[in-house]
């Protein structure tokens, strides 16, 4: 931990020193909430978000806050270690071409409904709810990458193995659920004359209300859908590998971890709803994934169970500048040269791609140094080739 701010209702504990003013103000807003418990934890990759900063962890007593989870419910990481220990540039380019053929990116979906076996179980589907209304679309969206900072990356691990890593979420399904319940929360908070200012954009639902129960149910479906989405993509990426390497290719390990969700947990002998918005669970011994940018290392980590962070850690490197700012400020030639020098088959082609260039992100080395009390590094993963959403 780098510092503690004690000017609000509860303390703000920060694992970074260079937080932008807008994100810090959002953290202050969170720390002033009447239901916020013990303290607010801000991870080392934190930057401004909607309502709550990305990289924020809020433990709440008796309420759930849709905007403290965000619109990409269940967004997270998965990684698989393969039996391969080497891969040529020629094979990488062939595989990346096949991945683009098998995995729709951006706004693209599968043309046909995917097998029901790739979808979550029906237990978290509410009759007439948002999820049920979106199921037909979701059947075509499962196994698709999406846009923004989502990616598929081939990496070389410090353990000598080739790894596959995927970052993606719940696609349009999570957005629809998030927007629906945030609107309900804002409306109800206005009717109740809530003491939480509307300008905070942190409207809440008391957990005993039906709306809160429905949100938790549909949110959990979105978390499972996001997991299913990553699993199907991983299957198709492995198919691309198998077509190139045949029997020489095999998956050895599979890790999955979300970083946008809320769930019941017990901290300081109290049952609370922990909201992680761009933050990863890091219980003692829990295996996690912390990605860098497409030009820097990523990490497989093991949690230390630090209670001051509510057993959490960062979900990545974190943005240093906004997307439009990156497109204005960063030099395209420099960013491409830096990636080319490292021999990375990358996704930076023109000015609009600069929003996901390495220069738009914080220094992952500093981020990892700042959370040495939260996780131990198990494996370093160097990027070899990247498909960006």
Give the least confident one: 238-242, 246-250, 362-366: 246-250
For residues 250-277, give the mean pLDDT: 95
Listed in sequence order, the DSSP H helices in the chain are: 21-31, 89-102, 130-141, 171-191, 210-245, 323-329, 332-341, 364-370
C-alpha–C-alpha distance, residues 262 and 60, integer Å:
10
Task: Pick the closest to residue 143 from 212, 233, 261, 248 (CA basis).
Answer: 233
Residue 361 DSSP symbol: B
C-alpha–C-alpha distance, residues 261 and 75, integer Å:
8
- pLDDT, residue 24, reads 97
Judge contact between 291 and 167, C-beta under 8 A.
yes
For residues 126-134, give the mean pLDDT: 96
For residue 339, give every residue at least 6 positions away whose Cβ sits within 8 Å of its Cβ, in sequence order, or none: 294, 295, 346, 348, 358
Estimate to the nearest angstrom the gap between the alpha carbon of 17 and the chain centroid: 22
Q: Are strands 270-277 and 54-60 parallel, antiparallel or unpaired?
A: antiparallel
Judge contact between 211 and 181, C-beta under 8 A.
yes
Judge contact between 182 and 66, C-beta under 8 A.
yes
C-alpha–C-alpha distance, residues 350 and 347, integer Å:
9
CA distances from 163 to 155, 159, 180, 381 (A): 5, 10, 37, 8
CA distances from 342 to 162, 278, 385 (A): 17, 28, 11
The pLDDT mean for the chain works out to: 95
- pLDDT, residue 259, reads 97
Residues annotated as catalytic (active site), given as ranges: 315
Estimate to the nearest angstrom the gap between the alpha carbon of 13 and the chain centroid: 21
For the beta carbon of residue 349, count every other beta carbon within 10 angstroms: 10
Flag whether pLDDT at 248 surpasses 90: no
Fold of 3-320+361-388: tRNA-splicing ligase RtcB (3.90.1860)
Domain definitions of the chain by residue range: 3-320+361-388
pLDDT > 70: percent of the chain? 100
For residues 24-45, give the mean pLDDT: 98
Flag whether pLDDT at 349 surpasses 90: no
CA distances from 30 to 53, 192, 201, 213 (A): 9, 19, 10, 22
Four-residue CA torsion sign, 305, 309, 310, 314: negative
For residues 301-325, give the mean pLDDT: 95
C-alpha–C-alpha distance, residues 312 and 8, integer Å:
22
- pLDDT, residue 197, reads 97
For residues 128-153, give the mean pLDDT: 95
Burial (CB < 10 A; 0-12, 13-18, 19+), residue 118, is middle
For residues 71-78, give the mean pLDDT: 97
Task: Pick the closest to residue 262 from 304, 210, 231, 223 (CA basis).
Answer: 223
Q: Are strands 205-206 and 63-64 parallel, antiparallel or unpaired?
A: antiparallel
């Amino acid at each position: 931990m780098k510092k503690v701010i004690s000017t609000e209702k509860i303390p703000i504990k920060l694992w970074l020193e260079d937080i932008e003013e807008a994100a810090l103000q959002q953290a202050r807003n969170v720390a002033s909430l009447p239901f916020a418990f013990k303290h607010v934890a801000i991870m080392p990759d934190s930057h401004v978000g909607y309502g709550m900063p990305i990289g924020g962890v809020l433990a709440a007593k008796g309420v759930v806050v849709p905007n403290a989870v965000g619109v990409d419910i269940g967004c997270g990481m998965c990684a698989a270690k393969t039996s391969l220990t080497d891969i040529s540039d020629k094979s990488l380019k062939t595989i990346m071409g096949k991945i683009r053929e098998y995995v729709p990116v951006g706004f693209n979906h599968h043309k046909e409904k995917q097998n029901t076996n790739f979808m979550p179980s029906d237990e978290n589907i509410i009759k007439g709810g948002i999820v049920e209304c979106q199921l037909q679309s979701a059947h075509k969206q499962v196994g698709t990458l999406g846009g923004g900072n989502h990616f598929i990356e081939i990496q070389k691990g410090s353990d000598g193995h080739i790894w596959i890593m995927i970052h993606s979420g719940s696609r349009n399904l999570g957005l629809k659920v998030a927007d629906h319940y945030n609107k309900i929360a804002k409306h109800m908070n206005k009717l109740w004359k809530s003491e939480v200012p509307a300008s905070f954009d942190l409207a809440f639902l008391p957990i005993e209300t039906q709306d809160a129960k429905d949100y938790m149910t549909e949110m959990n479906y979105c978390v499972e859908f996001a997991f299913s989405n990553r699993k199907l993509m991983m299957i198709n990426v492995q198919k691309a590998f198998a077509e190139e390497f045949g029997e020489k290719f095999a998956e050895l390990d599979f890790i999955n971890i979300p970083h946008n969700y809320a769930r019941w947990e017990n901290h300081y002998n109290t049952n609370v709803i922990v909201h992680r918005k761009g933050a990863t669970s890091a219980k003692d011994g829990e295996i996690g994934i912390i990605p860098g940018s497409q030009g820097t290392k990523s990490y497989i980590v093991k949690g230390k169970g630090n209670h001051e962070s509510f057993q959490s850690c960062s979900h990545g490197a974190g943005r240093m500048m906004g997307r439009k700012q990156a497109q204005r400020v960063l030099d395209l030639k420099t960013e491409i040269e830096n990636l080319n020098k490292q021999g990375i088959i990358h996704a930076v082609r023109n000015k609009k791609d600069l929003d996901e260039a390495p220069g738009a992100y914080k220094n992952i080395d500093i981020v990892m140094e700042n959370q040495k009390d939260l996780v131990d590094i198990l494996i370093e993963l160097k990027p070899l080739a990247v498909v960006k959403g």
